[in-house]
Amino acid sequence: MEKDYNRNTYVLQDDDNKGTVQIADDVVAVIAGLAATEVKGVAAMAGNITNEIMSKVGRKNLSKGVKISINGKCVKIALAIMMEYGYNIPGTCSKVQDKVKNAVENMTGLTVTDVDIRIASVDMQKK
């Protein structure tokens, strides 16, 4: 039986006795985005103009501001985040990198090789 894999779906496990486990790159992106927003000092994920328009009309994109590149069992993650004013940028980014790496590796079994962060903006509003 020949297996048909989607271009944006990656095999995590392929066992003739048990079957195949696949994961979509969007799932990895959602895990990374949610993990990043759990860190204090991260106001939100920053997205492109399409993501911003879609969120205004009520369609929330949980992978907003996340780009994933999977090669075999290794994944590179690029995040665009909005920081809260008053937080140390290098310290907060280090925490985001650790949190995202741990979340993706623990939930998917993939190896995270890079977590690149771009600070897209700073939220100046007091909460």
Residue 19 inside a domain? The answer is no
Whether the CB-CB separation of 62 and 33 falls below 8 Å is answered with yes
Contacts of 79 (CB under 8 A, 6+ apart): 32, 33, 36, 45, 65, 66, 96, 100, 115, 116, 117, 118
Residue 8 inside a domain? The answer is no
- Total domains present in the chain: 1
Assign residue 97 the CATH number of its domain: 3.30.70.1350
Q: With a threshold of 0.85, does the pTM exceed it? A: no
Confidence band of 127 (pLDDT split at 50, 70, 90): low
Residue 50 inside a domain? The answer is yes
pLDDT digits (tens, 9 = 90+) for 50-109: 444 444 444 456 678 899 998 888 999 999 999 999 999 999 999 999 999 999 999 999
Residue 11 inside a domain? The answer is no
Residue 5 inside a domain? The answer is no
**Signed CA dihedral, 105, 103, 78, 91: sign only:** negative
Number of Cβ within a 10 Å radius of residue 25: 19
| Amino acid residing at 83 | M
Residue 13 inside a domain? The answer is no
Most distant CA pair in the chain: distance in Å?
59
Domain that holds residue 64: 25-123
Residue 99 inside a domain? The answer is yes
Residue 15 inside a domain? The answer is no
Confidence band of 49 (pLDDT split at 50, 70, 90): very low
